[in-house]
């Protein structure tokens, strides 16, 4: 057994060390900047090659931050991995998923996720949901000899299978490899950054060629020409944008990890910020795991109610929370109650039952499913309004088939499976649910943040509404029975979803449909859940959030797992997502403003055939003070802004006018100085002063709303530049000579006019943050 092939599968939550290094080092921009750096070292002065150190720092910072995130993810992933139950050497054991080997006998119960392929050797009403693989909504009954596939999950009954394919041979792993990766949450931010990079790359090539030709053709000194061309090309490249995006995501992962929150797909952090509808499953989310048996209310006095409840609760080898609560009250079944045949509970049926021979056939399930009017039905409905979970205990003339659907019959309930099954209501059972102590405060947070909460549950609508109202959910008293929802009219369903906040008796397939209907109306939907009945909806939601104590299947498909099982963690999760997205938009404005002013400068200089207004060392100084250092702080700053769609257009509406006006101001300042008797270095100093002041003003606009630390940040950048102009060794290093008072004052005046113009332009474009 030790030599058999193991179930080793690459983790979904993080990439390898080699992949991280390649992603941060072997980039197109790094290649271009490296070539330019070599050119400067050959033809120019080494001080103008400082930008080469920036890419080294970028790569190191990116690698370190991603490695931190990788360690966090890998540690949390191990915690999140549900153990697999196997039978080895004649006894049941729990092992890690990666320890499963070919030939292992794997045991299954409701909620278990199948990690390997195999052949069923034992089935006790085992039902497998293969919808994630085949798209078929109905669970498949499995009997001995049937094949089971990885990627599916057990929804009812119990059984065992022999592992026949593990690791990369398993069906789900092969599907993932064919698809390239597991399904990733859509990332507008990453797609937007990728588009920026793509288009800028295509612009840099022709503009860079034009600039090189212009500088070489119109300069008497080849070294000066190369230096000027490199200054323009380097400034066009937003080399720090990808870095800041990676850092923001990586730091977000680490921060969430400290809160015991596992992010299985990095773009999910962005999804956290965009959510405007949160769908909650009541059980395990609003209520804590587990229940307590409250009351057993007889409807008939001539039936062995206690014996039937005790026996039913001990039939299933893998009891659900309801059976566990009844078991706690009835620790053992009475003698003589041996089940000849049983039907396990499933969320789709909402009942379970067993044939106890001479003791009779008994069914336990939802009153509104098993009963059809009468005293028991009305009393159950009244009890449900208090928020209690109510079950009906019924005696039947025979056991319904597991595949049977439900239909009504006069006076008594019935289960239709090709023939009628008469049910006699014997008792009502009430269970107390444990409301999470942090639920009310958490729901209040979402209401304040404009996130609409929808409670979708398999329980009685009145019971769910009672809990929702008690927790202060807006319109929590407006409940609807999901069995009355339209199946084929998405528009009508969407209207009902807008009008109601609580939905009861929702089937697993309906949860999936509800998520789709909300998405069709333009909502970004997050779904939380912990049970196997939530798997399909979690998979389809824009963001699936599983509770740590939930079933292995829910944790396998969710993008975010709350490992500490605390509902109160959700506000922190959403806040982290908003921080990442809003701050990446801020720094994108900074980097792309630089790119656009460099493009305009390079085009103007290339067409006019004049000298570039500053050297690479000048752009290194101004970029560090107005972009590099501030961006690092802004990318990690807290924010409560909810993300809005349209990331790319908003950034362009800011960066294009701001970049164009910065370029115009620099050109005017340089040409005004160059027309006098001042030296080239003095002319470049005037251009650098204008460049710093205009881009510093862009920083001020982007940093808004200004608080104390942001004021300190932008002020310290201005002070640092001022110090650089006054200290002789700094001036000498960066080739600055602010000696011509007339030129320098002209540069300041042009900068003031440009700053006013930038403010007006971006305000008109509607991109200023308020």
Rounded Cα distance, 491 and 485, in Å: 11
Name the residue among 151, 147, 146, 148 with its Cα closest to residue 173.
151
Q: Please write down the long-range contacts of 137-142, taking CB distance under 8 Å and 24 or more positions apart.
A: 137/509, 137/536, 138/348, 139/346, 139/348, 141/402, 141/403
Q: Which residues of 6-39 are buried (b: 16+ CB within 10 A; e: fewer)?
A: bbebeebbbbeeeebeebbbebebbebbeebbeb
Rounded Cα distance, 97 and 102, in Å: 12
Q: What is the CA radius of gyration of the chain?
A: 33
Name the residue among 135, 517, 155 with its Cα closest to residue 345.
155
Size of the chain in residues: 770
Whether 292 sits among the annotated catalytic residues: the reply is no
Instruction: Map residue 544 onto helix, strand or coil.
Output: strand
Rounded Cα distance, 386 and 447, in Å: 24
Rounded Cα distance, 286 and 456, in Å: 11
Rounded Cα distance, 54 and 56, in Å: 5
Please give the order of strands across the beta sheet that includes 479-481. 261-263, 560-562, 543-547, 525-529, 277-280, 452-456, 502-504, 479-481
DSSP assignments along 455-506, one per residue: EE-SS-HHHHHHHHHHTT-TTTT-EEEGGGS-SS-HHHHHHHHHH-SEEES-
Rounded Cα distance, 168 and 99, in Å: 14
The one catalytic residue among 48, 117, 276, 281: 281
Task: Map tokens 């709303």 to a residue.
Answer: 705
Rounded Cα distance, 122 and 85, in Å: 14
> Per the omega criterion (within 30 degrees of 0), is the bond before 705 cis?
yes
Active site residues: 281
């Amino acid at each position: 057994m030790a030599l058999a092939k193991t179930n080793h599968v690459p983790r979904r939550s993080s990439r390898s060390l080699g992949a991280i290094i390649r992603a941060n080092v072997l980039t197109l921009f790094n290649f271009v900047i490296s070539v330019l750096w070599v050119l400067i070292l050959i033809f120019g002065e080494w001080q103008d090659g400082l930008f080469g150190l920036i890419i080294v720092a970028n790569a190191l910072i990116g690698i370190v931050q991603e490695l931190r995130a990788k360690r966090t993810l890998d540690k949390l992933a191990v915690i999140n991995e549900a153990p697999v139950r196997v039978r080895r050497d004649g006894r049941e054991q729990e092992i890690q998923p990666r320890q499963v080997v070919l030939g292992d006998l794997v045991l299954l119960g409701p909620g278990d996720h199948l990690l390997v392929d195999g052949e069923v050797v034992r089935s006790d009403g085992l039902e497998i949901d293969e919808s994630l693989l085949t798209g078929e909504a109905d669970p498949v009954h499995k009997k001995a000899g049937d094949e089971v596939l990885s990627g599916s999950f057990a929804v009812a009954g119990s059984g065992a299978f022999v592992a026949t394919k593990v690791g990369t041979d398993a069906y789900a792993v092969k599907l993932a490899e064919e698809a390239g990766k597991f399904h990733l949450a859509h990332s507008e931010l990453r797609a937007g950054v990728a588009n920026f990079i793509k288009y800028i790359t295509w612009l840099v090539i022709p503009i860079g060629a034009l600039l090189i030709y212009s500088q070489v053709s119109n300069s008497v000194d080849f070294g000066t020409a190369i230096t000027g061309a490199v200054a323009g090309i380097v400034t066009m490249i937003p080399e720090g944008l990808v870095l800041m995006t990676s850092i923001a995501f990586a730091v977000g992962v680490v921060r969430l990890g400290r809160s015991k929150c596992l992010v299985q797909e990095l773009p999910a952090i962005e999804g956290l910020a965009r959510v405007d509808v949160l769908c909650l499953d009541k059980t395990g989310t609003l209520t804590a795991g587990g229940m307590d048996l409250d009351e057993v209310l007889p409807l008939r006095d001539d039936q062995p109610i206690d014996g039937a409840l005790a026996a039913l609760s001990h039939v299933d080898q893998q009891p659900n929370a309801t059976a566990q609560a009844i078991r706690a009250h009835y620790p053992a079944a009475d003698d003589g109650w041996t089940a000849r045949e049983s039907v396990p509970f499933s969320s789709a049926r909402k009942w379970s039952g067993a044939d106890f021979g001479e003791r009779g056939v008994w069914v336990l399930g939802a009153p509104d499913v098993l009963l059809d009017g009468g005293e028991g039905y009305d009393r159950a409905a009244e009890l449900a309004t208090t928020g209690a979970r109510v079950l009906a205990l019924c005696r039947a003339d025979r056991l319904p088939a597991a595949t049977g659907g439900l239909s009504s019959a006069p006076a008594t309930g019935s289960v239709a499976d090709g023939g009628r099954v008469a049910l006699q209501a014997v008792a009502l059972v009430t269970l107390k649910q444990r409301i999470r102590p942090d639920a009310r405060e958490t729901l209040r947070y979402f209401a304040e943040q404009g996130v609409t909460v929808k409670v979708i549950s398999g329980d009685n609508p009145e019971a769910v509404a009672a809990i929702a109202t008690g927790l202060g959910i807006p319109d929590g008293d407006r409940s609807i029975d999901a069995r009355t929802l339209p199946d084929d009219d998405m528009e009508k369903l969407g209207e009902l979803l807008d009008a109601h906040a609580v939905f009861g008796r929702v089937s697993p397939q309906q949860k999936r449909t509800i998520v789709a209907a909300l998405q069709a109306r333009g909502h970004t939907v997050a779904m939380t859940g912990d049970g196997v009945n939530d798997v399909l909806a979690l998979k389809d939601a824009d963001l699936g959030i599983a509770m740590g104590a939930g079933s292995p299947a829910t944790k396998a498909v969710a993008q975010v797992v709350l490992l500490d099982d605390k509902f109160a963690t959700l506000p922190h999760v959403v806040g982290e997502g908003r921080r990442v997205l809003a701050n990446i938009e801020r720094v994108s404005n900074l980097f792309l403003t630089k790119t656009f002013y460099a493009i305009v400068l390079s085009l103007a200089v290339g067409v006019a055939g004049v000298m570039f207004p500053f050297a690479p060392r000048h752009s290194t100084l101004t970029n560090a003070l107005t972009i590099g250092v501030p961006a690092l702080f802004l990318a990690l700053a807290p924010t409560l802004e909810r993300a809005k769609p349209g990331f790319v257009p908003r950034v362009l509406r800011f960066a294009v006018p701001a970049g164009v006006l910065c370029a115009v101001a620099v050109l005017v300042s340089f040409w005004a100085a160059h027309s006098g008797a001042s030296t080239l270095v003095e002319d470049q100093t005037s251009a650098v002063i204008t460049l710093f002041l205009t881009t510093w003003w862009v920083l001020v606009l982007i940093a808004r709303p200004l608080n104390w630390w942001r004021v300190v940040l932008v002020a310290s950048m201005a002070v640092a530049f001022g110090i650089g102009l006054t200290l002789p060794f700094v001036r000498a290093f960066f080739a600055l000579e602010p000696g011509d008072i007339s030129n320098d004052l002209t540069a300041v005046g042009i900068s003031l006019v440009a700053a006013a113009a930038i403010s007006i332009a971006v305000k008109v474009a509607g991109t200023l943050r308020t």
